[in-house]
Amino acid sequence: MAKYFELTSLSDDGFSLKHLIQELNSLGCEVFSTKNEYKIVELLTRVYRNRKFLTDYLIAQIHHTKMFKSGNPYTAQVFMLHTGAKYSIRASIWEPANKSNDEMFFYDVPHDHNFTFYTLGYYGSGYKTKIAQYHTSSPFKSGDKVELVNEQIVQLKEGKVMLYEKGKDVHSQIPPDELSISINIADTAQMLDDQYYFDFSSNRVTGYFPKESDILKKLQADFLVA
């Protein structure tokens, strides 16, 4: 079930990307263990405190233009900050509604994920997201009936953290009122086989899309070759 955390302690110095990676690596295989939930929220608090966290990364990448966005399997608004066997870190840019970009931003498309991830509202008012949960075991096929429960709408405001659970949470992003940025820490070690599209009104599965695990394996291979 999705969880929503308020950042309360903002007195510590901010983290750089390098420092965040070091801290996550120190957790070994337990980055996404329930016992470390508040540790991850604390780390993302430190990320939020560093208002140059993303610009420092982008400036460094611009100085290495051949590697900039190299091997990124996602759409143009996503920046892969780190990719590893246990977790990945990425930043996503979210723009207000525009017919020319809605497909790129995947707005108003209910879907689940085959990985657990934390997401931080780093900048801007943030998108709203309609969330529900299912408890039916996958795999599914199009047309399957799935009971979606605990439906609610929450907003990923600046300085807030959400935890989405793989194979349980279905959500649909609603465009923000202003340009916004989120920072994700995603589990790349424990992925389910498929991700699915859903319809909230009928509680049915409407389709599926390619395994993100396959995408990330290709991305990791590209980095190893480079």
Name the pTM for this structure. 0.86
Beta-strand (E) ranges in the chain? 3-6, 78-83, 87-94, 117-123, 128-133, 149-155, 160-164, 169-174, 180-187, 195-199, 204-209
pLDDT at 59: 82
pLDDT at 97: 86
Rounded to the nearest 5°, which phi and psi values hold at 44? Answer: -70, -30
pLDDT at 226: 37
Confidence of residue 60 (pLDDT cuts 50, 70, 90): confident
pLDDT at 75: 57
Least confident of 6-20, 97-111, 165-179: 97-111
pLDDT at 169: 96
Residue 82 makes CB contacts below 8 A (sequence gap 6+) with 17, 21, 88, 89
d(CA 173, CA 190): 24
Would you say residue 64 has pLDDT above 90?
Answer: no
Long-range pairs of 137-144 with CB within 8 A, sequence gap ≥ 24: 138/167, 138/192, 138/193, 138/194, 138/196, 139/193, 139/194, 140/194, 140/196, 140/205, 140/208, 141/205, 142/205, 142/206, 142/207, 142/208, 143/204, 143/205, 144/204, 144/205
Would you say residue 180 has pLDDT above 80?
Answer: yes
Average pLDDT over residues 202-217: 73
Give whole-number Cα distances, 194 to 142, 160, 205, 208, in Å: 13, 28, 12, 7
pLDDT at 65: 56
Tokens encoding 87: 């977790």
Confidence of residue 186 (pLDDT cuts 50, 70, 90): very high
pLDDT tens for residues 148-159?
Answer: 999 999 999 999
Chain centre to alpha carbon of residue 113:
9
pLDDT tens for residues 81-140?
Answer: 998 889 999 999 999 988 655 556 788 999 999 899 999 999 999 999 999 999 988 889
Q: What is the mean pLDDT of the chain?
A: 85
Percent of the chain with pLDDT over 90: 62
Identify the H or E element spanning 100: none
Query: For the chain, how many residues are written?
Result: 226
